Amino acid sequence: MSDTLILAKTLIQRPSVTPADNGCQLLLAERLRAIGFEIEHLHFGEVDNLWARRGKAGPLLCFAGHTDVVPTGPESEWQFPPFSAHEHEGQLYGRGSADMKGSVAAFITACERFIAQHPDHTGSIAFLITSDEEGPAKDGTVRVIETLEQRGEKIDWCLVGEPSSTDKLADVIKNGRRGSLGATLTVQGIQGHVAYPHLARNPVHAFAPALLQLCTETWDQGNDHFPPTTFQISNINAGAGATNVIPGKLEVQFNLRFSTELNEQIIRKRVEAILNQHALDYEIDWQLSGNPFLTAEGELVDAIRKAVKNVCGYETELSTAGGTSDGRFIAPTGAQVVELGPLNATIHQVNEHVGIADLDKLSDIYEQTLIHLLTDPAA
């Protein structure tokens, strides 16, 4: 049993449903302290965060990840108990195995091997580990970054262990993410009897033309790095609970995943212009989860591409698809940010699992990335 597998199983066996960490970061800190890292435990609200750094000089390569996991769902539907870290037919089953305790374990073992071989490496290595990635993301990575910025501590390269792979390990790496802007819209009407519609105002009927326009709007054409912006309704709710009552209020929740062709202000202005065009009586509450970011070709992308080719024997693909990640808090500081982790096919699902052999390969990719970035080829 490899060191990476042993550590991944140990982490999975600690139920750490967000925002709980359940001792995972203490375990990681012990391993990192043993190889020369200085440890800081940063607590904000209910959230545990770990900042560990080895070295004082730049450039700084940071491994970023999280120890919290989403709830298991019905445990009776799992083939094996979700926190048992059960091995079966070459797969490691358990909540967090793919998202992302497997990656965190691979981070650690890659660093242990690298430092054993290169104790006098150039630059610095850091770990930013939170227990608030799967939750509100208010007291996790964003607060750690605020702390680092206040003291002038800058990350140059950041490798996030989010599960980026699609069909085989490291076939896709994420060098950017779309922005995410959500909203809760309340449309006011006048409740009444369905037999007397002239005495009421149905907010569902009033909103329907605006809904059609919002759903068919072409927000942008995307660009070379991002697909076009998308608009999706996630919830619509109205009604008084009876078939003969016109509702007095409609609540709609929607989200836009947007490219670098747009920004929050432009989107809000365009959405509200459509709502105003239809003379709706409404209130809208906007929630920005993150702006789009892109890491162009550069040292980090090049190093990871070489590492994947060395370990896996094939080229990797750059992508900005998918949801948000904590990379959205790190990229605005000027850091190059790339996400690379295991297959994402079962994340957040019942019977989440990761390939056991993939864990060792992932650790090798991380180690190769360290070698490419933090060793002097002339030495």
- What residues act catalytically? 68, 133
Instruction: Report the alpha-carbon distance of residue 244 to residue 192 in Å, rounded.
Output: 9
Choose among 85, 70, 107: nearest CA to 342: 107
Specify the DSSP element, H or E, that contains 249: strand 249-258
Sign of CA dihedral 67, 72, 76, 79: negative
Contact 182, 253 (CB under 8 A): yes
Q: Which residue has the tokens 């947007």?
A: 258
**How many C-beta atoms lie closer than 10 Å to residue 35's C-beta?**
17
Instruction: Report the alpha-carbon distance of residue 121 to residue 100 in Å, rounded.
Output: 27
Length of the chain, in residues: 379
The amino acid that residue 138 corresponds to is K
The amino acid that residue 155 corresponds to is I
Strands 336-339 and 157-160: parallel
Instruction: Report the alpha-carbon distance of residue 121 to residue 374 in Å, rounded.
Output: 6
Instruction: Report the alpha-carbon distance of residue 256 to residue 215 in Å, rounded.
Output: 11
Structure tokens at 211: 């809904």
Distance of alpha carbon 305 from the chain centroid? 21
Q: How many helices (H) and strands (E) does the chain have?
A: 9, 19
The amino acid that residue 44 corresponds to is F
